[in-house]
Structure 1
Amino acid sequence: MFPFKDAEIGAFTFFASALPHDVCGSNGLPLTPNSIKILGRFQFLKTMTHPRLCQYVDISRGKHERLVVVAEHYEKNLEALLREQKPISGLKILQIAYEVLQGLEYMNKHGMVHRALAPHNICMDQKGHIKLAKFGLYHMTAHGLDVDFPIGYPSYLAPEVIAQGIGKPSDHTQSEKPVPSGPKSDVWSLGIILFELCVGRKLFQSLDISERLKLILTLGYVDDIMTVLAEEHGCLSIIKDLPENTLALLTQCLTYQPSKRPTAAELLCASLFSEVSPWYSPFHKPRSLFSPSLRCADLTLPEDINLLCKDEDTDYLAERSIDEVYYLWCLAGGDLEKELTNKEIIRSKPPVCTLPNFLFEDGESFGQRRDRSSLFDDTTVTLSLCQLRNRLKDVPGEAFYPLLEDDQSNLPHSGSANELSAAATLPLIIRERDTEYQLNRIILFDRLLKAYPYKKNQIWKEARVDVPPLVRGLAWAALLGVEGAIQDKYDAIDKDTPIPTDRQIEVDIPRCHQYDELLSSPEGHAKFRRVLKAWVVSHPDLVYWQGLDSLCAPFLYLNFNNEALAYACMSAFIPKYLYNFFLKDNSHVIQEYLTVFSQMIAFHDPELSNHLNEIGFIPDLYAIPWFLTMFTHVFPLHKIFHLWDTLLLGNSSFPFCIGVAILQQLRDRLLANGFNECILLFSDLPEIDIERCVHESINLFCWTPKSATYRQHAQPPKHTTESNGGSRATSHISSDYQDTSKTDLAREPIRLSDLKSEVSPRISAEDLIDLCELTGSGHYKTPTKKTKPSKPKLLVVDIRNSEDFNRGHIPGSINIPFASAFTAEGDLVQGTTTATLQSFKGRVIVIVGHVHHIAEFAAHLVKVGYPRVCILDGGINKMKPTGLLTVPSPQI
C-alpha cells in the first residue's frame, strides 16, 4: 500500500438491483442480494495496487441495496483540461496515453476491464501523473448485471459494446449471462478521450444519446475514422497538424474492428512511445510479509532518527497508507452517509412522499414518479479529514517512528505517553475506539510486522497488551509462527479435482457465519471452498469433520484477499490446539479432552462440578462443539477475535480455562436448574461477556499447575522452545507441558478408563517440586534479606499413616491419615490438621501417599467443596528417589 501523501479520500454511492423476495435459487435457499455479491467482489479491488490506479479502500452496505464505495481521490482530472478548451501538445498527449495504458495493462493482467473510461475518471495527482478512478465498477457489478444502470458513457463506449446492448436476463436464477466487454474496448475509449484532448473540446455534444450511438456504429462503414470525426466537429485542420506519433496512436486506438485493434500491452511496446517510455521504470509490487524475498529496503532509517522529525510542518499522517488514514477517520467520528447527505448525494424523504406508482389498465399512472435519488450519481465526494487531524494535533512526530529496541520500548515516545498509558488500562472495546491510541498501536505493530520474524518476541510482548483490529490478520499469523513462501505452497495444492468431501463442504458453507456480509457472499463461499479443500487435500492422514468450516471462518475473514495466509494460519492453528481432533476415529482424543476438562471444572469449582455430575449434565452434552471449533461455533466473529487474541498467546491447555470461565458466568443459573433446564440453556447460549471471560481464563490458567492438563494425545513438543518473555501470569506460557525430558519425575500416561475414574487432576513430581520451590537440600528456598518470606504456592497433604509419614515426607506437608480422615457420612474429622487444611482452602492442595488411596481422598475433598485439589502422579514413590523427603528431628 502506497503512502497517502497528496491524495484525498473520496466516496461515491450507487444502488444494486433489488431481487424478488419470493424467488429461491437452485439449492432452495433465498437468493443472495446483489449488494452482498458486489461487496464480495469488491474485496479483490483492494489488492489492485499500482501507481496509475486510485486505490480502493472500503465498501459499506446500507438500506435498500445502497452501497458506498471509498477510494483514493484527486480533484484534478482530464475533464478540467477539456474545460479550458485548449488543444494539448503532442508530447503531453503521448505522456497521458502512456500512463493510462500502464494502468490498463495492469488491470488486463488481472482479468479486469475499465469500461467506464471517461475524462472525469482519469485523475491527475499534484505531479501531473495519471490515476485511473472507478476502474472497478464493471468488475464489482458482474459486468453490470447486478445494477440497473449501464456501466460506461455513450460518447466513449466502443462500437462492439454499443452493438451488444445492455440487455439483462429476466430470470434471476438462470446462469446464462451476456458476454463481457474485452480489454480492447478501453483502448477505443482512450482514443476518443485523446482525440478530445487534441482538439480541445468534447465530441458529440450537439447530439443526443441515440444519435451519438448511431454515429459511432456507422463509423464502421468509413475508411478513415479520424477524418470523419474531425469533419463532423469542424477540427480537421487541427488533426492534420498533429505530430506523426500522436496521429498514429489515435488511428490505432480508433480501429473499428476489435480484432484489428491493439491491446494496451501491445501499444506500450510500440515505437510510438519511444520518446516518453525512458521516463518510466517498471513497476514492482511491494514485497509481501510472507515470501522468500528480502524486505530490507522497507526498514531503512537515517542514523539520527531525529532527522525524521525535525520539520514541525511535516504532515506525518500523509506518510501512512490510505487504509490506515480511513480507519482512523472512522474512529474519529467519520460517517459516510452523513458526508453524502451533506452534499445532497443521499436525499431522504418522509415515508408519505415515497408511495409507489400505480399503473392502471388504460395506461394512466397515479402516485410518485421514480425517485431520481435512486439513480446512479457519478459524483465523488471528498471526505474531510479536519476532524481527524484535529483529533491527532497533539501527537508529535516521534510517535510515527517508534523505537523497536527492547531496552527502549518502555521509554516515553511522546508528550502524550501518560494519556496512552491511561488508555491501556481501559476496557478493550474502548481502546479499540480511541483514535490516538489506535494510531500508536497500528504504527508500532506495522513496524514490528515488517521486521518479522526478527522481532517475533516483541510482537508477542505487544500482543499481550492488545492487538489492533486493522492488523489482526498479520499479527495472528506472526503469533502462529507462519513463515516462508506460503503462496507457492498454497498454489501447489490441487483444489480443483473432485473429492468425496466436496459434498459435505458444500452443505456446511451456507450455514457458517452467514450473518456476516463478507462470508455470505458468493466470493466468500468460493474462498471457503478452496481453503477448506486445500486443508483436506494437504492433510491426507486427517479427515473433514463438521466444525472445520467454523475454524476456518476467522482466518478467512481477516485474510479475505490472501487465501494462502488463511490456509497457512489454519494449518498452524489446528496442530497446536486441536492435535489429532480430525482423525477418522477421534473418539479417544475427544474423550480424553473432555475428561481433562471435567477435572478442570472440579479443580476450580467443586460445587458446580458436584451439581453437574449429580444431574448427569456431563461435558459430552455441550462441550464438544466448543473445543472442536475452539468456540467459533458458539460465538459471533467479533467475540472470537477478542477471545483468540488471548488464546493464541496461550498453549493447548488454555481452552480448558476458557470453558471453565464460560461455565462460571452461567454458574448461578446452572446451580439453580436441573438436567432439562441446562440442556435448554445451552441450546441457546446466553450472552457471554467475552472480556470478563478472557480475564477469568487468565486467572484460572495461572492457578492451574501446568502438568494438571497433561494429555497423552496432545501435540508432541518441539525441540526448540519459543521465548516470549514475561511471567506465566501475563504471557500464558506458550509451550505445552509434555514429557520432554523423559525423566522419572514427569507425568506418566494412563489408561482412559483410569483417567475417567479420577475426579481431580494429576500433577507431576517435577511440577510439585517447582511449585513448592524445593531445593536439593530438602527445604524451601531461603528468601533474601530484601524480600519478604514467600508462602508456599500450595499445601501438600500426605495421607499415609503417621509411621510412614515420619520415615520421610515432603518438607512443609501435613499428615492426615486416610483411614481416620472422614466420618461415615463423608465429612472430614475435625482436628488440628484439618484446621490447617481448612485454612489453606482456596489454595492448591496436592494429595500424596499410596497410589490406591490418593484419588479417593481427593474425591472426598471435592465432594465437601474444597477447590484446587489435585493428586501427585505416581504417589509418594515418585518423590523417594529425589532425596527431597525429610525426617522429623527427634524431640529433646
Structure 2
Amino acid sequence: MAAESGRQFWKRSAKLPGSIQPVYGAQHPPLDSRLTKNFIKDRSKASGLPMKSKKASSFHEFARSTSDAWDIGDDEDEDFSSSSSSSSLQTLNSKVAKATAAQVLENHSKLRVKPERCQPALGDLPTNCKVIKSSSEAQLSRTSEEACVRSPLQKQQSLPLRPVIPLVARISDQNASGAPPMTVREKTRLEKFRQLLSSHNTDLDELRKCSWPGVPREVRPVTWRLLSGYLPANSERRKLTLQRKREEYFGFIQQYYDSRNEEHHQDTYRQIHIDIPRTNPLIPLFQQPLVQEIFERILFIWAIRHPASGYVQGINDLVTPFFVVFLSEHVEEDVENFDVTNLSQDVLRSIEADSFWCMSKLLDGIQDNYTFAQPGIQKKVKALEELVSRIDEQVHNHFRKYEVEYLQFAFRWMNNLLMRELPLRCTIRLWDTYQSEPEGFSHFHLYVCAAFLIKWRKEILDEEDFQGLLMLLQNLPTIHWGNEEIGLLLAEAYRLKYMFADAPNHYRR
C-alpha cells in the first residue's frame, strides 16, 4: 500500500523533482517501445475522460485533459525505473504503427466534421437535429416566436431573401431587391403601359399615375420622353418630332462646338473636360472615350445655350440616367459593361440628342439651383432644416448640439439630386416618380431628402461628435438598395408632402 501511494506521489506531484512526464509532438512519435506498450489500452481510457473547461492547474493535469494522437497513458503498473537497462531507440513494431496511424486518421476525420474543442453544449443544439449549412439557413430556422417579436424593419433586414449585389450593381436590374424577374402583377402593369403608349393620344395624367410606382424597363425610354415633355402625346407626331429635335441638336453642335477652344469658352470646356472622367468612375460604361465625348458635347452645348448659369459642377451627373435609359432601348445585356462602339452611328446620335433634350427639360425646372450663388439650393436646404425640426426634433437638436449645419451635407443632396448618395439603378427608379410628380425634381425632392435623412435617425443619434456625423452623412450605406427601399422612401416622402406641403405654417417656426 505504501509502495503504491509512493508511486502515485512521484507520478502526480509536479512540484517535486523526479516527476518527469515525457512529451511528444504529433510530428515526431515516441520511439521507445516501452512507452507504447499500453498505448492502445490507455488511449481508449483517455478518450473517455470528459474535457476540462477550466485551465489546468499543472502541466500533468493539462496533459491528462488533452487527447492528442500521440498522447501516452501512464499506467500505474508501469515502472520506468525498473526497465532503464532496455534499449531506448527501438523502432515501433508494425502493430503499434498501424494502430497509431488508424487512430490519427480517425481523429482527423472527426476534427474535419466537427472539431472537438468547438463542440457546442448539448443544450445549444437544435432540437430537430437539422444540419445548418449556412448563416442564411440559421436565420431561417429561428422559431416563429422570435419572428413575432421582431419589428417589421428588423425582419426585413434579417431575412436572407435578397441576393448580394456587387459594388457596381447592375444599372438595368429592376429586381435588385430580390423580387422575381416578372410577376403576374408586373406583366399586367406592362400591358397597361403598352396600351396607354399605343393609343392615338396618350393620356398623360393616366401615364403619370401609372408611372409613380415605377416604370417597367421595356417601356421606360418612351415613357420618359413623354413625361419630360420631349415627345407629344399624339402618336402620329412623335416620329417627326424626334427627327426634327435630333437634327436641331446636331445643328447646335455644328454651330457652337468648335468655339470650345475660344478664349471666352475655354474655362467652361476645361471644367467639363475635368469633370467627365469623375462621373460614376466605377462604372465601365462611363469610362469609354466615346461616351465621354458624347457627354462633353451635351454639357458644352447646354452651357452655351444657358449663359445665366453656364456649366456648374454636378450637372454632369444629371446626364447619366437619361443616357442609360435611352441606351437600354438598344441593348439587351447589362448596360454598365456594354461597349458602345458596337452600336451604329445613327443609334448613338439618337441617344445623344434625346439625352440632351430630356436633361434640358429637367434643368429648366431647377435652373435657379445653378445660377450665381445657387439661390435655389440655399432655399431648399433652409426648407429642409425647418421641415426636419418639425418632423423629428430630436435629430434636429442632435445636429445643433454638435454644430452640424444642414448645408454641410444637404448641399450635395440638392445639387446632385441624391445621385451621389444612391446607386444609379435607384436614381433611375426615383426619377420614374419625379417625372410623375408636378415639380418632382424641385418641390417633391425636398420631401424625399427629409425622408432620406430620417431613415438614418438611429445611426445619426448614435454618432456623438461632429466628424462622425459628417462622415456618416457623406457615406451612407445604400450600395445594396433596390426597388423596395426606394419605394418605402417615396411612400414616406409622399406622406410628408401630404402633411406639410399645403400647410407651410405647420413646419415654419
Q: Normalized against structure 1, the TM-score is what?
A: 0.30
Q: Contact between 2:300 and 2:311, CA under 8 Å: does it hold in 1? A: no
Q: Is it true that 1:694 corresponds to 2:490 in the alignment?
A: yes
Distance 1:507 1:469 in 2: 32
CA-based RMSD of the aligned residues comes to: 2.5
Q: Deviation per CA, 1:365-404, whole angstroms, max 9, x where unpaired?
A: xxxxxxxxxxxxxxxxxxxxxxxxxxxxxxxxxxxxxxxx
SS at match of 2:369: coil
Q: Deviation per CA, 1:504-551, whole angstroms, max 9, x where unpaired?
A: 111111111132232222221121112112211221222111111111
Distance 2:494 2:293 in 1: 37
How do residues 723-738 of structure 1 correspond to structure 2 at under 5 angstroms?
none
Letter matched to residue 452 of structure 2: I
Which structure's residues are more often strand, by fraction? 1
Identify which of 248, 251, 259 aligns with 1:497: 259
Distance 1:700 1:486 in 2: 38
Match of 2:222?
Answer: 474
How do residues 251-290 of structure 1 correspond to structure 2 at under 5 angstroms?
none
Match of 2:139?
Answer: none
Once the two structures are TM-superposed, the CA of residue 554 in structure 1 deviates from its matched residue by 0.6
Q: Contact between 2:368 and 2:374, CA under 8 Å: does it hold in 1? A: no
Distance 1:437 1:611 in 2: 43
Q: 1:596 to 1:465 in 2, by over 3 A?
A: closer
Q: 1:615 to 1:571 in 2, by over 3 A?
A: same
Distance 2:378 2:284 in 1: 36
How do residues 336-375 of structure 1 correspond to structure 2 at under 5 angstroms?
none
Percent pairwise identity = 24
Q: 1:572 to 1:657 in 2, by over 3 A?
A: same
Which structure's residues are more often helix, by fraction? 2
Q: Contact between 2:246 and 2:353, CA under 8 Å: does it hold in 1? A: yes
Q: Is it true that 1:446 corresponds to 2:234 in the alignment?
A: no
Q: Contact between 1:480 and 1:572, CA under 8 Å: does it hold in 2? A: yes
Q: 1:588 to 1:435 in 2, by over 3 A?
A: closer
Distance 1:448 1:648 in 2: 17
Identify which of 667, 692, 714 aligns with 2:457: 667
Q: 1:706 to 1:589 in 2, by over 3 A?
A: same
Q: Deviation per CA, 1:659-711, whole angstroms, max 9, x where unpaired?
A: 11111121012122221210121232222643322221122122113362xxx
Letter matched to residue 310 of structure 2: V
Once the two structures are TM-superposed, the CA of residue 633 in structure 1 deviates from its matched residue by 2.2
Match of 1:648?
Answer: 435
Distance 1:505 1:616 in 2: 34
Distance 2:271 2:401 in 1: 38
Q: Contact between 1:445 and 1:471, CA under 8 Å: does it hold in 2? A: yes
Once the two structures are TM-superposed, the CA of residue 432 in structure 1 deviates from its matched residue by 7.0
Q: Contact between 2:430 and 2:486, CA under 8 Å: does it hold in 1? A: yes
Identify which of 557, 573, 581 aligns with 2:362: 573
Letter matched to residue 318 of structure 2: L
Distance 1:666 1:480 in 2: 31
Once the two structures are TM-superposed, the CA of residue 556 in structure 1 deviates from its matched residue by 1.4
SS at match of 2:223: helix
Match of 2:353?
Answer: 564
The alignment of Structure 1 onto Structure 2 pairs a total of residues equal to: 286
Match of 1:622?
Answer: 409
How do residues 239-258 of structure 1 correspond to structure 2 at under 5 angstroms?
none
Q: Is it true that 1:531 corresponds to 2:298 in the alignment?
A: yes
How do residues 221-236 of structure 1 correspond to structure 2 at under 5 angstroms?
none
Once the two structures are TM-superposed, the CA of residue 625 in structure 1 deviates from its matched residue by 1.1
Identify which of 500, 503, 508 aligns with 1:704: 500
SS at match of 1:580: helix
Match of 2:398?
Answer: 611
Distance 1:477 1:457 in 2: 15
Q: 1:490 to 1:431 in 2, by over 3 A?
A: farther
Q: 1:648 to 1:452 in 2, by over 3 A?
A: farther
Q: 1:665 to 1:622 in 2, by over 3 A?
A: same
Once the two structures are TM-superposed, the CA of residue 468 in structure 1 deviates from its matched residue by 0.3
Distance 1:452 1:657 in 2: 36
Distance 2:502 2:251 in 1: 40
Match of 1:685?
Answer: 476
Distance 2:200 2:316 in 1: 29
Q: Contact between 2:208 and 2:435, CA under 8 Å: does it hold in 1? A: no
Q: 1:539 to 1:452 in 2, by over 3 A?
A: farther
Q: Deviation per CA, 1:623-680, whole angstroms, max 9, x where unpaired?
A: 1111111111222211111222222222222111111111112101212222121012
SS at match of 2:215: coil
Distance 1:658 1:495 in 2: 37
Letter matched to residue 586 of structure 1: A
Once the two structures are TM-superposed, the CA of residue 428 in structure 1 deviates from its matched residue by 8.8
Match of 1:110?
Answer: none
How do residues 30-429 of structure 1 correspond to structure 2 at under 5 angstroms?
429=177
Q: Contact between 2:370 and 2:376, CA under 8 Å: does it hold in 1? A: no
Q: Deviation per CA, 1:396-415, whole angstroms, max 9, x where unpaired?
A: xxxxxxxxxxxxxxxxxxxx
Once the two structures are TM-superposed, the CA of residue 496 in structure 1 deviates from its matched residue by 3.5
Q: Normalized against structure 2, the TM-score is what?
A: 0.52
How do residues 777-792 of structure 1 correspond to structure 2 at under 5 angstroms?
none
Letter matched to residue 664 of structure 1: I
Q: Which runs of 5+ in 1 are unaligned?
A: 1-425, 709-761, 763-845, 847-868, 872-892
Q: 1:707 to 1:653 in 2, by over 3 A?
A: farther
Q: Deviation per CA, 1:96-133, whole angstroms, max 9, x where unpaired?
A: xxxxxxxxxxxxxxxxxxxxxxxxxxxxxxxxxxxxxx
Letter matched to residue 581 of structure 1: N
Q: Contact between 1:600 and 1:656, CA under 8 Å: does it hold in 2? A: no
Distance 1:460 1:428 in 2: 23
Structure with the greater relative contact order (CA < 8 A, sep ≥ 6): 1 or 2? Answer: 2
Higher-Rg structure is 2
Letter matched to residue 467 of structure 2: N
Q: Contact between 1:428 and 1:691, CA under 8 Å: does it hold in 2? A: no
Identify which of 575, 579, 582 aligns with 2:370: 582
Identify which of 173, 192, 205 aligns with 1:457: 205
Distance 2:313 2:508 in 1: 35
Q: 1:441 to 1:587 in 2, by over 3 A?
A: closer
Q: Contact between 1:552 and 1:570, CA under 8 Å: does it hold in 2? A: yes
How do residues 715-794 of structure 1 correspond to structure 2 at under 5 angstroms?
762=505
Letter matched to residue 579 of structure 1: Q
SS at match of 2:436: coil
Q: Which runs of 5+ in 2 are unaligned?
A: 1-173, 232-240, 328-347
Distance 2:273 2:180 in 1: 36
Once the two structures are TM-superposed, the CA of residue 435 in structure 1 deviates from its matched residue by 5.5
Q: 1:470 to 1:586 in 2, by over 3 A?
A: farther
Once the two structures are TM-superposed, the CA of residue 594 in structure 1 deviates from its matched residue by 1.2
Q: Contact between 2:213 and 2:433, CA under 8 Å: does it hold in 1? A: no
Q: Deviation per CA, 1:322-369, whole angstroms, max 9, x where unpaired?
A: xxxxxxxxxxxxxxxxxxxxxxxxxxxxxxxxxxxxxxxxxxxxxxxx
Once the two structures are TM-superposed, the CA of residue 438 in structure 1 deviates from its matched residue by 4.3
